[in-house]
Amino acid sequence: MEPSFWHQKWESKQIGFHQDQVNPFLVKYWASVKADPRQSVFVPLCGKSLDMCYLAEQGHRVIGCELNLTAVKDFFVENQLSYQTHQHGEHTVLEDDTISLYQGDIFTLPPEATQHIGSFYDRAALIAWPDDLRQQYAAKLAQLIPAGTSGLLVTLDYPQAELNGPPFAVSPQWIEQYLATHFDVELLTCEDVLAENPRFVNKQVSWLNEAVYRLTRK
Protein backbone atom coordinates (compact mmCIF):
# COMPACT_ATOMS: atom_id res chain seq x y z
CA MET A 1 0.00 0.00 0.00
CA GLU A 2 1.40 3.34 -1.05
CA PRO A 3 1.45 6.33 1.33
CA SER A 4 -0.91 8.07 -1.09
CA PHE A 5 -3.64 5.59 -0.08
CA TRP A 6 -3.63 6.83 3.52
CA HIS A 7 -3.19 10.48 2.57
CA GLN A 8 -6.26 10.20 0.35
CA LYS A 9 -8.25 8.61 3.19
CA TRP A 10 -7.42 11.47 5.54
CA GLU A 11 -7.95 14.23 3.01
CA SER A 12 -11.35 12.82 1.98
CA LYS A 13 -12.21 12.11 5.65
CA GLN A 14 -12.77 8.40 4.92
CA ILE A 15 -11.50 7.49 8.35
CA GLY A 16 -13.81 4.76 9.59
CA PHE A 17 -10.83 3.37 11.49
CA HIS A 18 -10.86 6.42 13.76
CA GLN A 19 -12.83 5.81 16.97
CA ASP A 20 -14.70 8.74 18.53
CA GLN A 21 -14.12 7.39 22.02
CA VAL A 22 -11.31 5.79 23.99
CA ASN A 23 -10.96 2.12 23.11
CA PRO A 24 -12.64 0.06 25.88
CA PHE A 25 -9.98 -2.65 25.66
CA LEU A 26 -7.32 -0.04 26.43
CA VAL A 27 -9.23 1.07 29.53
CA LYS A 28 -9.82 -2.51 30.66
CA TYR A 29 -6.39 -3.99 30.01
CA TRP A 30 -3.82 -1.20 30.23
CA ALA A 31 -3.16 -1.96 33.90
CA SER A 32 -2.00 -5.45 32.86
CA VAL A 33 1.00 -3.88 31.13
CA LYS A 34 2.16 -2.56 34.52
CA ALA A 35 3.55 0.50 32.80
CA ASP A 36 5.40 3.03 34.92
CA PRO A 37 3.41 6.27 34.51
CA ARG A 38 6.65 8.23 34.74
CA GLN A 39 7.83 6.65 31.48
CA SER A 40 6.79 7.30 27.89
CA VAL A 41 4.45 5.12 25.84
CA PHE A 42 4.86 4.66 22.07
CA VAL A 43 1.79 4.63 19.81
CA PRO A 44 2.60 3.61 16.20
CA LEU A 45 0.33 4.79 13.36
CA CYS A 46 -1.47 6.88 15.95
CA GLY A 47 -3.69 8.97 13.67
CA LYS A 48 -5.64 11.37 15.89
CA SER A 49 -6.66 8.67 18.35
CA LEU A 50 -8.27 9.71 21.62
CA ASP A 51 -6.45 6.77 23.16
CA MET A 52 -3.43 9.06 23.36
CA CYS A 53 -5.37 11.45 25.61
CA TYR A 54 -6.24 8.53 27.89
CA LEU A 55 -2.61 7.44 28.10
CA ALA A 56 -1.52 10.99 28.87
CA GLU A 57 -4.15 11.16 31.62
CA GLN A 58 -2.52 8.08 33.18
CA GLY A 59 0.64 10.17 33.59
CA HIS A 60 2.57 8.98 30.54
CA ARG A 61 4.37 11.08 28.03
CA VAL A 62 3.03 9.88 24.65
CA ILE A 63 5.25 9.41 21.61
CA GLY A 64 3.27 8.76 18.44
CA CYS A 65 4.16 8.23 14.80
CA GLU A 66 1.71 9.08 12.02
CA LEU A 67 2.17 9.37 8.27
CA ASN A 68 -0.40 12.09 7.60
CA LEU A 69 0.10 15.69 8.69
CA THR A 70 -3.62 16.49 8.69
CA ALA A 71 -4.24 13.73 11.24
CA VAL A 72 -1.51 15.04 13.54
CA LYS A 73 -2.69 18.65 13.35
CA ASP A 74 -6.30 17.59 13.84
CA PHE A 75 -5.36 15.76 17.02
CA PHE A 76 -4.01 18.90 18.65
CA VAL A 77 -6.71 21.22 17.30
CA GLU A 78 -9.67 18.97 18.16
CA ASN A 79 -8.38 18.43 21.69
CA GLN A 80 -7.65 22.15 22.11
CA LEU A 81 -3.95 21.58 22.68
CA SER A 82 -1.36 24.15 21.65
CA TYR A 83 1.78 22.71 20.09
CA GLN A 84 5.24 23.53 18.85
CA THR A 85 6.89 22.13 15.73
CA HIS A 86 10.46 21.09 15.01
CA GLN A 87 12.26 18.80 12.61
CA HIS A 88 13.86 15.51 13.60
CA GLY A 89 15.62 14.04 10.57
CA GLU A 90 12.96 13.10 8.03
CA HIS A 91 10.13 13.63 10.51
CA THR A 92 8.25 16.75 11.54
CA VAL A 93 7.52 16.66 15.28
CA LEU A 94 4.45 18.38 16.69
CA GLU A 95 4.39 18.38 20.49
CA ASP A 96 3.15 19.90 23.69
CA ASP A 97 4.26 19.19 27.24
CA THR A 98 2.98 15.60 27.26
CA ILE A 99 2.53 14.41 23.67
CA SER A 100 5.08 14.27 20.83
CA LEU A 101 3.85 13.13 17.42
CA TYR A 102 6.38 12.27 14.72
CA GLN A 103 4.80 12.95 11.35
CA GLY A 104 6.31 10.76 8.66
CA ASP A 105 7.02 7.19 7.59
CA ILE A 106 7.33 4.78 10.50
CA PHE A 107 9.82 2.71 8.50
CA THR A 108 12.29 5.60 8.67
CA LEU A 109 11.62 6.49 12.32
CA PRO A 110 15.03 6.33 14.05
CA PRO A 111 15.32 3.98 17.06
CA GLU A 112 16.50 6.84 19.27
CA ALA A 113 12.97 8.27 19.10
CA THR A 114 11.74 5.35 21.21
CA GLN A 115 14.84 4.23 23.06
CA HIS A 116 13.59 5.50 26.43
CA ILE A 117 9.97 4.35 26.26
CA GLY A 118 8.54 2.21 29.04
CA SER A 119 5.56 0.74 27.14
CA PHE A 120 3.72 0.73 23.81
CA TYR A 121 0.18 0.45 22.43
CA ASP A 122 -0.88 -0.76 18.97
CA ARG A 123 -4.58 -0.72 18.17
CA ALA A 124 -4.68 0.26 14.51
CA ALA A 125 -1.15 -0.25 13.20
CA LEU A 126 -0.64 -3.99 12.72
CA ILE A 127 -4.10 -4.45 11.17
CA ALA A 128 -3.49 -1.57 8.74
CA TRP A 129 -1.02 -3.57 6.64
CA PRO A 130 -1.51 -6.33 4.06
CA ASP A 131 0.54 -9.42 4.82
CA ASP A 132 3.80 -8.55 3.04
CA LEU A 133 4.03 -5.08 4.60
CA ARG A 134 2.79 -6.40 7.94
CA GLN A 135 5.85 -8.62 8.15
CA GLN A 136 8.07 -5.59 7.52
CA TYR A 137 6.17 -3.60 10.12
CA ALA A 138 6.55 -6.38 12.71
CA ALA A 139 10.32 -6.30 12.19
CA LYS A 140 10.36 -2.50 12.47
CA LEU A 141 8.29 -2.57 15.65
CA ALA A 142 10.74 -5.03 17.15
CA GLN A 143 13.57 -2.65 16.22
CA LEU A 144 11.83 0.28 17.92
CA ILE A 145 10.85 -1.47 21.18
CA PRO A 146 13.64 -1.84 23.78
CA ALA A 147 14.22 -5.25 25.37
CA GLY A 148 11.98 -5.94 28.35
CA THR A 149 9.35 -3.38 27.31
CA SER A 150 5.69 -4.49 27.41
CA GLY A 151 2.65 -3.21 25.59
CA LEU A 152 -0.86 -3.95 24.34
CA LEU A 153 -1.71 -5.12 20.84
CA VAL A 154 -5.32 -5.12 19.60
CA THR A 155 -6.09 -7.15 16.45
CA LEU A 156 -9.02 -8.17 14.28
CA ASP A 157 -9.44 -11.58 12.67
CA TYR A 158 -12.03 -12.64 10.09
CA PRO A 159 -12.16 -14.60 6.80
CA GLN A 160 -9.98 -12.31 4.67
CA ALA A 161 -11.48 -13.63 1.43
CA GLU A 162 -14.88 -12.28 2.48
CA LEU A 163 -13.80 -8.62 2.72
CA ASN A 164 -10.95 -6.53 1.40
CA GLY A 165 -8.96 -4.69 4.07
CA PRO A 166 -7.97 -2.49 5.69
CA PRO A 167 -8.39 -3.39 8.42
CA PHE A 168 -6.72 -6.67 7.54
CA ALA A 169 -7.23 -9.97 9.29
CA VAL A 170 -4.47 -11.01 11.69
CA SER A 171 -4.77 -14.59 12.93
CA PRO A 172 -3.30 -16.09 16.11
CA GLN A 173 -1.14 -18.23 13.82
CA TRP A 174 0.28 -15.08 12.20
CA ILE A 175 1.06 -13.63 15.61
CA GLU A 176 2.88 -16.81 16.57
CA GLN A 177 4.87 -16.95 13.33
CA TYR A 178 5.95 -13.32 13.01
CA LEU A 179 5.77 -11.72 16.47
CA ALA A 180 6.64 -14.54 18.86
CA THR A 181 10.22 -14.56 17.58
CA HIS A 182 10.67 -11.02 18.96
CA PHE A 183 8.10 -10.85 21.76
CA ASP A 184 6.69 -12.96 24.55
CA VAL A 185 3.01 -13.13 23.63
CA GLU A 186 0.08 -13.51 26.03
CA LEU A 187 -3.53 -13.51 24.83
CA LEU A 188 -5.64 -11.46 27.26
CA THR A 189 -9.01 -11.79 25.55
CA CYS A 190 -10.64 -12.71 22.25
CA GLU A 191 -14.23 -11.60 21.68
CA ASP A 192 -16.88 -11.93 18.98
CA VAL A 193 -17.52 -8.33 17.81
CA LEU A 194 -19.36 -8.94 14.54
CA ALA A 195 -22.66 -7.49 15.75
CA GLU A 196 -20.89 -4.25 16.73
CA ASN A 197 -19.43 -3.66 13.25
CA PRO A 198 -22.12 -2.85 10.66
CA ARG A 199 -19.67 -2.74 7.75
CA PHE A 200 -18.75 -6.38 8.31
CA VAL A 201 -22.38 -7.36 8.83
CA ASN A 202 -23.47 -5.58 5.64
CA LYS A 203 -20.72 -7.34 3.68
CA GLN A 204 -21.96 -10.66 5.08
CA VAL A 205 -18.69 -11.49 6.78
CA SER A 206 -19.35 -14.75 8.62
CA TRP A 207 -17.39 -13.97 11.79
CA LEU A 208 -15.23 -11.26 13.33
CA ASN A 209 -13.04 -11.57 16.42
CA GLU A 210 -11.18 -8.83 18.25
CA ALA A 211 -8.25 -9.93 20.37
CA VAL A 212 -5.99 -8.21 22.88
CA TYR A 213 -2.45 -9.40 23.46
CA ARG A 214 0.21 -8.37 25.95
CA LEU A 215 3.56 -8.32 24.20
CA THR A 216 6.95 -8.12 25.92
CA ARG A 217 10.07 -7.52 23.86
CA LYS A 218 12.57 -10.33 24.37
Helices 3-11 and 69-78 pack at an angle, to 10 degrees, of 40
User: Is residue 56 helix, strand or coil?
Assistant: helix
pLDDT in the model for residue 165: 86
> pLDDT value at position 215?
98
- Assign 153 to helix, strand or coil: strand
Answer whether 144's CB lies under 8 Å from 115's CB.
Answer: no
pLDDT averaged per 10 residues in sequence order, the chain, 218 residues? 59 60 96 96 96 97 95 95 95 97 96 97 95 95 98 97 93 97 98 94 96 98
Question: What distances in angstroms separate CA 168 from CA 94, 126, 161, one per listed residue?
Answer: 29, 8, 10
| Pairing assessment for the beta strands 150-157 and 183-192 based on DSSP bridges | unpaired
DSSP 31: G
Q: Could you tell me the CATH superfamily of domain 24-217? A: Vaccinia Virus protein VP39 (3.40.50.150)
Query: Which among 133, 86, 90, 131 is positioned nearest to 109, based on CA atoms?
Result: 90
Q: Write down the pLDDT at residue 11.
A: 66
pLDDT for 12 equals 62
Going from N- to C-terminal start, the domains of the chain cover: 24-217
